[in-house]
Chain A
Amino acid sequence: MTYLTEQQNTTHTERDDLSASVLLRIDKECVVPSPRWQFLAVEYGIWVLWGLSVLFGAVAFSVLIFFLTHAGFAVYEATHDSVFELFIDVLPLMWVGVFALMAVLAHFNLRHTKCGYRYTVLRVLLSSIVFSFIGGLLLHVLGIGFLVDDFMSRRMSLFGSLEQIETRLWQNPVEGRMIGTYEGSSPLNNDALFTDAKGAVWHLNIAELNAQDVLTLEGGGRVHVIGIASSTTPFSFHSCAVFPWMLKKPASLTEMRAERTHFLGRMKEHHKNMFDELIASSTLNRLQNRAICGSHKAVQRINKRFAQ
């Protein structure tokens, strides 16, 4: 006999039996419906967790934006051959990881809401990511990315802050880059005294700096200096251009564009000076002090790029 037939033959008494036994068990085990607030609490709890995941994802994204907009892309030729190389070098994997983790958590939470299962994985994941993107942009505009990076670098020495990355990229006199602060003029000559990020005092030759560079250098704040290390006894550095330290606050797009324009202008100027000097002089020795910056890697990179 098939099960359907069995079912069809089931008597009303048997049907009532299950109903009665269920009601009896409800009585016996004192089963009561769980209160509605418990279900609401779980549902709202999941939404709150989703909100938190999106919020933390947004924070991670705002720090990522901060990194990617302040990592020195405006002057990338000073440190790298291409924007891509710089991007790979400065990409904060920890924040990428945090962002990815939060996206997965947000997806997990959303899937566990009452209606979350109705949407595809891609749609749920993308919606959480889009919310984090929008939130991240907003937080970045409010300067949260900068504040988080700043806070984390102060509290956690091992945390790879943008400042640490900048120091790693820029404190390299042999490669023609330094960061530090102006200390005053040397009493012996016209050189500027400059303390780099490692505390070494350098004599900066400022013959090839223009008025804006000098103003930036003497402004008193931390600066980037591009140049050529000429001696280590004493520490001498022929400076070619000076740029403000942009990490002290979230820089605007206008400021970054201005930095880019200034950088390109200065590098092209150095190239032109060197070219003019070469035409005017018979030997390369005469390039000293007046057009030495033309041989800097950054100048050559820019010249090569624009010559193509």
Chain B
Amino acid sequence: MHENPSSMTDEEAVAMALLNKEFFGHIVLRYQDKLSSYVHRLGVRNEQDREDVLQNIFIKVYKNLNGFDRSLSFSSWIYRIAHNEAISWYRKTNVRPEGHMVYSGGEEIVQMLSTGEDSAEKMFDVQVNADEVQRALYELDEKYRDPLILRFFEHKEYEEIGDILKIPQGTVGTLIHRGKQELKNKLSQQHLHI
């Protein structure tokens, strides 16, 4: 047994949690901040709601520990559960994801729009209004918004995004590309040029 649970890999922590549920507490500690940010980004704004959603996520993770697919990273697996739980929460509460992005300024969003295929395009002519960008992102179709959030806010690789959203890797690339285009179109309509 590890002396220090924080030095365990996720897979080791899962194996230990199956033997002794107290170890599951370390998994919770390890992921609660990341998942809290993620479900917040997905639109669960209210703190109490978020706590409920997080609890449900971890209970589900615990129940399904034996179903953890070792061909995936544990992180992708737990993000997938978190994503599904957030979606279930919207459905249960019958609310649309609320657009309250977690950011420390407009830079992250702006960087997102200028990254990758469009980097050669002209850069920012106008100071971007982060609130407008944020609103535009949440007006995007879910199929574009989710990969964008995972890629540019959770900093996940395409393969991980595919595993979390259960879509092929190629589709992830396409959705991110189209999502960025859609976002730019929405911003153009609002007279914001990226």
Contact = CB atoms under 8 A, between A and B. Distances in A.
Contacts of A26: 21, 24, 59, 62
Contacts of B26: 19
Interface in A21-48: 21-23, 25-26, 29, 31-36, 38-39
Contacts of B62: 22, 26, 31, 33
A36 B104 CA distance: 43
A29 B102 CA distance: 33
B65 A33 contact: yes
Interface string B50-64: 010011001100111
Contacts of A200: none
A35 B65 CA distance: 9
Interface string B33-62: 100110010000000000100110011001
A34 B55 contact: no
B71 A22 contact: no
B112 interface: no
B32 A19 contact: yes
Given A16-B29, A34-B67, A22 B24 contact: yes
A36 B63 CA distance: 11
A4 B104 contact: yes
Given A25-B59, A117-B166, A34 B32 contact: no
Interface residues of A, number: 30
Interface in A116-155: 117-120
B168 interface: yes
A30 to B, nearest CB: 11
B24 A119 contact: no
B193 interface: no
A10 B33 contact: yes
A23 B32 CA distance: 13
Given A21-B55, A26-B59, A26-B62, A118 B168 contact: yes
A251 interface: no
B28 A22 contact: yes
A158 interface: no
Given A19-B28, A26-B21, A7 B170 contact: no
B127 interface: no
A7 B37 contact: yes
A176 B71 CA distance: 67
A23 B162 contact: no
A18 interface: yes
Contact of B55 (A25, A36, A38, A118): A25
A120 B33 contact: no
B169 interface: yes
A2 B103 contact: yes
B100 A119 contact: no
Nearest to A3: B102
Contacts of B162: 117-118
Nearest to B22: A23
B166 A39 contact: no
B11 to A, nearest CB: 15
Contacts of A120: 168, 170-171
A119 B18 CA distance: 31
A304 interface: no
A259 to B, nearest CB: 48
Interface string B133-167: 00000000000000000000000000000110011
Nearest to B171: A120
A6 to B, nearest CB: 9
A305 interface: no
Contacts of A114: 69, 71
14 contacts: A2-B103, A4-B102, A4-B103, A7-B33, A18-B28, A18-B51, A22-B28, A22-B55, A31-B59, A32-B63, A38-B67, A117-B162, A118-B163, A120-B170
Given A2-B102, A3-B40, 5 more contacts: A7-B36, A18-B54, A19-B26, A22-B24, A23-B22
Identify the 7 closest CB pairs spanning chains A and B, nearest first.
A39-B67, A117-B166, A36-B66, A19-B28, A19-B25, A33-B65, A3-B102
